[in-house]
Structure 1
Amino acid sequence: MLSRHRQRCNLLHPPGNEIYRHEDISFFEIDGKRQLTWCRNLSLLSKCFLDHKTLYYDVTPFMYYVMSKRDSAGCHIIGYFSKEKESADNYNVACILTLPQHQRHGYGKLLIEFSYELSKKEGKLGSPEKPLSDLGLLGYRAYWAEVIVELLINTSDELSIDDIAQKTSITHADIMNTCTTLQLFKHYKGQHIICLSDAVLERHEKTRNKRRRQIYPEHLIWKPPVFTRDQLRFY
């Protein structure tokens, strides 16, 4: 079956626009309406690994952002996330998956980081669609904690929740939940402040030292797609 597939399929990369390239990692943007069969197949593949995934046939309302690793043979898919073309709830991710053989190598966090870089380009706050898988929830919590603590460490000025949201594109609710989980809120002279404890700083340092990869925004060549009313009419 594999040899038959190789004879018929001559694609060496996902069928979309390459919008990011750094070292051996590339991201491709794919319109579910233009690449209907390919995106349906990707969604069906995801259903094998995501228990909660129910939508796999109706792919036209979504854009797909596929991360791949390049070598001399072409681009090999590592994972992807999908995103609604028009989200009433400002979700920046509808479905996210790192293929099992690539899990626990930092690629999940790379996908999450990339989704927030797109939100920054759009000038919007974003959050993933719920429910998340157990692994997805752990990944997001780790990302939010790392980004928020890193920002607080590197900023000498006082920061409000709104300041953090504008700088990171993380929603106010996700920031509040993360700060509460990390016990960053302290009561001081009649008001609540954000304070980094030694334990949080130590944990953050260990996480930062273990991190393998990151997204470099200067390598992202992308403008937010604009859709007309007719283009957002899905049948």
Structure 2
Amino acid sequence: MARAPRTAAIRTRTDTQPLRFSPAVQMGSIEGAKAENGVAAPACNGGDQRNGGGGGALPDGEAEAGRRGKVGAAAAVLPLEVGTRVMCRWRDQKLHPVKVIERRKIPNAGPNDYEYYVHYTEFNRRLDEWVKLEQLDLDTVEADIDEKVEDKATSLKMTRHQKRKIDETHVEKGHEELDAASLREHEEFTKVKNIAKIELGRYEIDTWYFSPFPPEYNDSSKLYFCEFCLNFMKRKEQLQRHMRKCDLKHPPGDEIYRSGTLSMFEVDGKKNKVYGQNLCYLAKLFLDHKTLYYDVDLFLFYVLCECDDRGCHMVGYFSKEKHSEESYNLACILTLPPYQRKGYGKFLIAFSYELSKKEGKVGTPERPLSDLGLLSYRGYWTRVLLDILKKHKSNISIKELSDMTAIKADDILSTLQSLDLIQYRKGQHVICADPKVLDRHLKAAGRGGLEVDVSKLIWTPYKEQG
């Protein structure tokens, strides 16, 4: 649920060569990935949880015990063991620290010829990948250490600012509801991407995370998706045969919005179970914390498409429970990598609130939010609320703001508190809306993305359908 700058470096397209998007391309640079994804504290009530803690020094004895010693190329034992830490040459031709997560024998090669699945310890797991031995600098191989001692040394040396930057190998946003044992189980089960690439329509896309496809697909480095029905296949020839038979040119649901070349389709998970399950498989490749629902009957899927004379091509989607006691108006959200940085994510969030307004309800996204999800929602809430405060000359309450926007009161309160726009006086919250301060916050929140033209939305809430 649920971004750093991602510029689109695209290979020249031929009839047989799809456009390709890789994690490096989507992020612009590995430094961009670090700034956005690699290190952040868990969210707390919709805001950042800033842990206190000053600097400190580890006693000499413990510091020595926690220090990793270099082994060196001459003493490095091949094949490298799982857990080894070493420097690895990435696509930017720079060396970055990695930890070996898994290894596999190269067929028909020597006894020490292995490929290694590595995690770049500075960055989000989406960059994890298989590398060859020549990419590793064996002079930097580090001996095994007691990780608990290392963690203690790291913790004591952190400044107050650094303490917010927790390596995602310990706590990733989106996993803060898990206890330590569940988090370890999740990381162990999903530690290695089972599918490296997919082809979807015109695009070849490098995946980010593990997705629990049926076992018979786990030996496929690349899967081929029909972009209309989302059936997936192991071979290009299978996809080509399928496309000759598939009569769909858009998602199998009702078109509820059309504005220019953009369309939104509502897909009922109960009526289109296979499509809903395939969509979940696809989405999990790009969402680390997503729970994969096999029982999609309880969900509606809102699929955003770009339309041309060939059909309606999926851009992204969000899902929503048909009935939510917690007032959730969005369960999961994804913009596919080739379409990111174009305002579609903001559009999907805004669209979910327009549906809530049609229902006459307040809404909120399902928790926990990922790090990127929280940033997107905080930006949306900020823009919507401050636009109203700028135009509203008289006093306005949190309840009135909630009624106008369909944003849950708790989200309004946490957003305004994070912007220091709310005070507690005489037993009640008071909004302090200085115009210059509002302008400064609006500028920092950035552009609102694509707007939803409500006049083009033709939709009946689910409870009123026959």
Flag whether TM exceeds 0.5 (same fold).
yes
C-alpha distance 185-31 of structure 1, shift in aligned 2 (>3 A): same
Q: Following TM superposition, by how much is the alpha carbon of 1:132 offset from its aligned partner in structure 2, in angstroms?
A: 1.7
Q: Following TM superposition, by how much is the alpha carbon of 1:227 offset from its aligned partner in structure 2, in angstroms?
A: 6.9
Q: Following TM superposition, by how much is the alpha carbon of 1:189 offset from its aligned partner in structure 2, in angstroms?
A: 8.4
1:82 is the counterpart of 2:319: yes
Residue 440 of structure 2 corresponds to: 202
CA distance in 1, matches of 2:241, 2:394: 61
1:158 is the counterpart of 2:373: no
C-alpha distance 181-88 of structure 1, shift in aligned 2 (>3 A): same
CA distance in 1, matches of 2:338, 2:360: 34
Q: Conserved in 2, the CA contact under 8 Å of 1:90 and 1:126? A: yes
Residues 26-45 of structure 1: per-residue CA shift (max 9 Å, x gap): 11111000001111101110
C-alpha distance 4-137 of structure 1, shift in aligned 2 (>3 A): farther
Q: Following TM superposition, by how much is the alpha carbon of 1:105 offset from its aligned partner in structure 2, in angstroms?
A: 1.2
CA distance in 1, matches of 2:248, 2:414: 43
Q: Conserved in 1, the CA contact under 8 Å of 2:383 and 2:448? A: no
| Identical-pair percentage | 50
Q: Conserved in 1, the CA contact under 8 Å of 2:328 and 2:365? A: yes
Match of 1:36 among 273, 279, 302: 273
CA distance in 1, matches of 2:362, 2:282: 29
Q: Conserved in 2, the CA contact under 8 Å of 1:44 and 1:56? A: no
Q: Following TM superposition, by how much is the alpha carbon of 1:113 offset from its aligned partner in structure 2, in angstroms?
A: 0.2
Q: Conserved in 1, the CA contact under 8 Å of 2:346 and 2:449? A: no
Residue 67 of structure 1 corresponds to: 304
Does 123-132 or 6-15 show the bigger shift? 6-15
Residues 199-221 of structure 1: per-residue CA shift (max 9 Å, x gap): 4313414656x444200111111
Residues 59-84 of structure 1: per-residue CA shift (max 9 Å, x gap): 11001111111112111111111111
Residue 360 of structure 2 corresponds to: 123
Residues 109-130 of structure 1: per-residue CA shift (max 9 Å, x gap): 1000000000000000100101
CA distance in 1, matches of 2:301, 2:311: 19
Match for 2:321: what amino acid?
Answer: E
CA distance in 2, matches of 1:118, 1:66: 14
Match for 2:268: what amino acid?
Answer: D
TM-score normalised according to structure 1 size: 0.90
1:171 is the counterpart of 2:422: no
C-alpha distance 171-157 of structure 1, shift in aligned 2 (>3 A): same
Match for 1:50: what amino acid?
Answer: L
Match of 1:6 among 204, 223, 243: 243
Residue 46 of structure 1 corresponds to: 283
* Uncovered stretches (5+) of structure 2, i.e. residues with no partner: 1-235
Q: Following TM superposition, by how much is the alpha carbon of 1:5 offset from its aligned partner in structure 2, in angstroms?
A: 3.5
Q: How many pairs were matched up?
A: 228
1:97 is the counterpart of 2:334: yes
C-alpha distance 178-211 of structure 1, shift in aligned 2 (>3 A): closer
C-alpha distance 207-71 of structure 1, shift in aligned 2 (>3 A): farther
Match of 1:213 among 443, 450, 461: 450
CA distance in 1, matches of 2:389, 2:437: 15
RMSD: 2.1
Match for 1:29: what amino acid?
Answer: E
CA distance in 2, matches of 1:112, 1:105: 14
* Structure (1 or 2) with the greater helix fraction: 1
CA distance in 2, matches of 1:219, 1:164: 24
Residue 257 of structure 2 corresponds to: 20
Q: Indicate the SS of the match to 1:226.
A: helix
Q: Conserved in 2, the CA contact under 8 Å of 1:63 and 1:82? A: yes
Q: Indicate the SS of the match to 2:451.
A: coil
Q: Indicate the SS of the match to 2:249.
A: coil
Does 186-195 or 95-104 show the bigger shift? 186-195
Does 8-17 or 162-171 show the bigger shift? 8-17
* Uncovered stretches (5+) of structure 1, i.e. residues with no partner: none
Does 178-187 or 60-69 show the bigger shift? 178-187
CA distance in 2, matches of 1:135, 1:190: 35
TM-score normalised according to structure 2 size: 0.47
Q: Which has the higher contact order (CA 8 A, sep 6+)?
A: 1
1:133 is the counterpart of 2:366: no
Q: Conserved in 2, the CA contact under 8 Å of 1:80 and 1:98? A: yes
Residues 48-68 of structure 1: per-residue CA shift (max 9 Å, x gap): 011111223111100111111
Q: Indicate the SS of the match to 2:393.
A: coil
> Which consecutive aligned stretches of 4+ in structure 1 deviate over 4 angstroms post-superposition?
187-192, 205-208
